[in-house]
Structures are given as C-alpha cells and as structure tokens.
C-alpha cells in the first residue's frame, strides 16, 4: 500500500467518523440550545434541567440512527478490507 493510498484511507476514516458521530452530537447540541433558551426565558437555573433531557434524547437518537450508523461503518470496513485484499496483505 502506497503513501497516497494510506492517506486516502485515513481521509475516508475521518469522514466516516464525522458521519457516524454527527447524529447524536447534533441532537445534544440542539437540545442544549433549546433548554438554554428555555432557562434564559424563565430564569430557572437548575442543572438537572439541562442534563436529563440531553441524556434521554441523545440515547433516543442513538436508537433511531443506529441502522444508519451501522450501515455506514459496515460499508467503510468492507471498503477497507477490499483494499487490503486487493493490495495483497
């Protein structure tokens, strides 16, 4: 495997990492923003008010997006293993 091929695999792995991690991270970001706005408007500064909804909805997003995440990782590993087989090792 040449240096260019290794860089290409590294680039694909970083892109796959971003693609797989994006749904729960964006869900946590959106919920945090909504709860922060709600806390600012109502002037309620309770720390559990931010923590509990984030945990529940990020967990729910993991369940909802799990098929997409697994398919993405499966496709990535098939491509990596195909390259390893074609490269002879």
Question: pLDDT tens for residues 35-82?
Answer: 989 988 988 888 778 889 899 999 999 999 999 999 999 999 999 999
What whole-number distance in Å separates Cα of residue 64 and Cα of residue 45? 30
Which H or E run contains 26? helix 3-42
* Reported pTM: 0.80
pLDDT band for position 88 (50/70/90)? low
What whole-number distance in Å separates Cα of residue 57 and Cα of residue 49? 13
What whole-number distance in Å separates Cα of residue 44 and Cα of residue 37? 10
Domain boundaries, the chain: 3-87
Is the pLDDT reported for residue 89 higher than 60? no
Do residues 26 and 68 lie in contact, with contact meaning Cβ atoms separated by under 8 Å?
no
pLDDT band for position 84 (50/70/90)? confident
pLDDT band for position 2 (50/70/90)? confident
Tell me what pLDDT residue 6 has.
Answer: 86
């Amino acid at each position: 495997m040449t240096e260019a091929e290794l860089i290409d695999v590294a680039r694909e792995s970083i892109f796959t990492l971003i693609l797989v991690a994006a749904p729960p991270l964006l869900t946590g970001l959106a919920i945090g923003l909504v709860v922060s706005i709600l806390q600012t408007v109502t002037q309620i500064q309770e720390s559990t008010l931010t923590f509990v909804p984030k945990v529940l909805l990020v967990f729910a997003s993991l369940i909802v997006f799990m098929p997409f995440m697994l398919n993405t990782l499966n496709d990535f590993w098939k491509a990596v293993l195909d390259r390893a087989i074609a490269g002879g090792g």
